[in-house]
Amino acid sequence: MQIAVLASGNGSNFEAIVRASKRGEIKSQISVLIVDKKSSYAITRAKYLGVKYVIVELANFSDKQSYEQEIVNILKAYNIDFICLAGYMKIVSETLLSAYQGRIINIHPTLLPKYKGKFGFDLSLESMDEELGATVHHVNNQLDGGEIIDQIRFLRKGKTLEELEKELHENEHILYVRVIKEMEEK
Ligand code: GRF
């Protein structure tokens, strides 16, 4: 598959996917990174990993539809057939969804359907849940609402906030690569 990653922030999942591709753990190529913020650290990662990137900012478009149409145009130009959202902080709308029906997945830092939305991890920390985790799911027009593909879990007991955040990200990277591998075998 030719994969595009869409990100807004740090980009550690993007880097994990690219590294898995480089070492042959997944067969797919990560052909382009699309970011919606020029401050995204994912851009720095794309530079040192040697992955092409494009910045597409909503503020430069008259509406969400034309913004997403530009993203679709870029995806087509790169012959992308699969999209991984990784810390992409926008709801995907009809223009992008219909162009890539069933071929967009996202990672969320909780065990969905618990704790949807951008404060999901904080909510899971505030809960009394003994298990934390992450979910990769199909994307539809509902916030973190598409069908669940796979999850990964870890225990919180006795760990500091920093340790839990580190463990979350390590687990996310394992999960995302595992799911892409599963998708390739389908
Ligand atoms: C991850 O925790 C992911 O679950 C959430 O946003 C975060 C992105 O992290 N959707 P990164 O930018 O990949 O480091």
3-state SS of the chain is: CEEEEEECCCCHHHHHHHHHHHCCCCCCEEEEEEECCCCCCHHHHHHHHCCCEEECCHHHCCCHHHHHHHHHHHHHHCCCCEEEECCCCCCCCHHHHHHCCCCEEEEECCCCCCCCCCCHHHHHHHCCCCEEEEEEEECCCCCCCCCEEEEEEEECCCCCHHHHHHHHHHHHHHHHHHHHHHHHHC
CA 83 to centroid of ligand 1, rounded, Å = 15
In this structure, the residue with its CA closest to atom 2 of ligand 1 is 109
Q: Which pair of structure tokens corresponds to residue 51? A: 């992955």
| Whether residue 108 lies in the annotated active site | yes
Q: Measured in angstroms, how far is the CA atom of residue 109 from the centroid of ligand 1?
A: 7
CB 149 within 8 A of CB 105: yes
State the pLDDT at residue 172.
98
Q: Which ligand 1 atom minimizes the distance to the CA of 13?
A: 13
Query: Which residue out of 107, 114, 136, 179 has the highest number of ligand 1 atoms within 8 Å of its CB and is therefore the one to mutate?
Result: 107
Per-residue pLDDT of the chain (186 residues; tens, 9 = 90+): 999 999 999 999 999 999 999 999 999 999 999 999 999 999 999 999 999 999 999 999 999 999 999 999 999 999 999 999 999 999 999 999 999 999 999 999 999 999 999 999 999 999 999 999 999 999 998 999 999 999 999 999 999 999 999 999 999 999 999 999 999 998
- For ligand 1, residues with CB inside 6 Å are 7, 9-14, 86-87, 107-109, 134, 172
Verdict on whether the full-model pTM lies above 0.85: yes
Nearest atom, ligand 1, residue 12 CA:
14
Q: What pLDDT sits at residue 186? A: 81
Q: What's residue 39's pLDDT?
A: 97
